[in-house]
Amino acid sequence: MSENPRPTPAQELAGYLRSYIREMGLGNEDPGVVIDRYHTPDIEWHSDGIRLDRDKLIAHARPARKNAIALDIEVHDTLVAGDRVAARYTLRSTMRKGRRLSNEIYLFGELAPDGRLRRVHSTTRDMPDQAGDGTGR
């Protein structure tokens, strides 16, 4: 069992993905505290070509927390090599009004010396919701 229930990306990439996504999407803790736990202050997160800095990541968390009632994170592949990380995972979300979303995400990142992420490039692909109507929407 890990001593740190909230691993940094360098310590355990799959654990980071599960912890970070749940804390940001469903948690009650201030989103800024969560961001700072896992990322450097100068974090740059490029998602499908859109650049998000720390403030934009925090702003993104607020509506997600209002709308999502359940999250499932299935980590398929992870790789940590020096200061670089890569992962492929599926994020399934259940929204307050019953809508279910499923996205496959490919993430590539750069670590800071302390093990937190400083740069991320990710791309997402909508997946059919196998438990729903097949549209993923």
Name the pLDDT band for 131 (thresholds 50, 70, 90).
Answer: low
Query: pTM of the entire structure?
Result: 0.86
- For 29-61, the pLDDT digits (tens) are 999 999 999 999 999 999 999 999 999 999 999
**pLDDT given for residue 62 in this prediction:** 86
Alpha helices in 39-86 (DSSP H): 54-67
**pLDDT given for residue 129 in this prediction:** 66
**pLDDT given for residue 63 in this prediction:** 87
- For 52-100, the pLDDT digits (tens) are 999 999 999 988 888 999 999 999 999 999 999 999 999 999 999 999 9
* Residue 15 near residue 4, CB atoms below 8 Å: no
> Any bridge partners for residue 87, and if so which?
78, 107
Q: Is the pLDDT of residue 4 over 80?
A: no
Encode 41-69: b = buried (16+ Cβ within 10 Å), e = exposed.
eebbbebeeeebebeebbebbeebeeebe
